[in-house]
Amino acid sequence: MRMTPDTEQSIRCTVSSCSCVRFKPARAKHRSCDRCGHGWVVHALEKLQAPPSPSCGPVEVALPGLVLDLSSLVLYGAQAVPVRLKILLDRLYSVLTPEQVGHILHTLGWSLGDYVRGYMLQFPGGTVLDRWVMVTPEEEPLVLRQFLRFGETRPIVELMTRQSPAAVNRPSDPELRPAPKSCQSNICAFPERDGGTAGNIFRNSGNGSHLLTGLHLPVFGSSHQGD
């Protein structure tokens, strides 16, 4: 699979004790790295700027490319969506066009029906699911904080924080390396897979900044497996 020149910089693991420079999905568990064993979220966070605090800082526009980046934290390699993250994704998708939402879901291996339901009924090959892979309880606070960047979702995350402070305000994992301040939100080359690529999606965000330029995505097939 062809990778862009900066792939190794893009998908680097953020666990401080880990030397993994490029996420490679495990064959059976796509959200785990075959090289280091750490999850997709702690790799992808390297490409996302630290979000603003709940009470201050400017909000960002929910551009399709950035929403795709954030959606990948939740949907990539997963078969179910935790309720709080589903609520936040629904709010972001409400400001996109149906075509843009469809592209995001298809790119990440989801049908619209499965997403609306909140979980997949079966693998692409037709095998009925009896267990589901999703964002882990340890990953969820890291993902929730990323929704603070958008005006559409910041108030919801703040409310979730008041209702369950541990959900978002959990102390940072001391082993996680913070993303560099200069790092732009641009998961520009998705993980390696044995299949082809889904092509370039959302090449230009509409305001001149390039989001996911040269994005290469795995093609999901009947090789999906559960835990």
pLDDT tens for each residue of 146-203: 999 999 999 999 999 888 766 555 544 435 554 444 334 444 344 544 343 333 333 3
| DSSP character at residue 25 | B
Quote the percentage of the chain above a pLDDT of 70: 65
In a domain? residue 1? no
For residue 179, the model assigns a pLDDT of 47
For residue 160, the model assigns a pLDDT of 92
Pick the range with the lowest mean pLDDT from 4-13, 67-76, 145-154, 205-214: 205-214
Number of domains in the chain: 1
Helix axes 64-75, 83-93, angle to 10 degrees: 160
Token readout for 204 is 């230009």
Quote the percentage of the chain above a pLDDT of 90: 48
Contacts of 41 (CB under 8 A, 6+ apart): 31, 73, 135, 139, 142, 143
More confident residue, 119 or 205: 119
Candidates 225, 53, 73; CA nearest to 145 is 53
In a domain? residue 203? no
For residue 153, the model assigns a pLDDT of 95
For residue 123, the model assigns a pLDDT of 80
In a domain? residue 185? no
User: 163 lies in which domain range?
Assistant: 7-169
For residue 181, the model assigns a pLDDT of 43
Contacts of 187 (CB under 8 A, 6+ apart): 10, 11, 44, 47, 69, 72, 212, 215
For residue 98, the model assigns a pLDDT of 96
| DSSP character at residue 75 | H
In a domain? residue 188? no
For residue 54, the model assigns a pLDDT of 56
In a domain? residue 117? yes
Confidence of residue 11 (pLDDT cuts 50, 70, 90): confident
pLDDT in tens, 43-94: 988 787 555 555 678 889 999 999 999 999 999 999 999 999 999 999 999 9
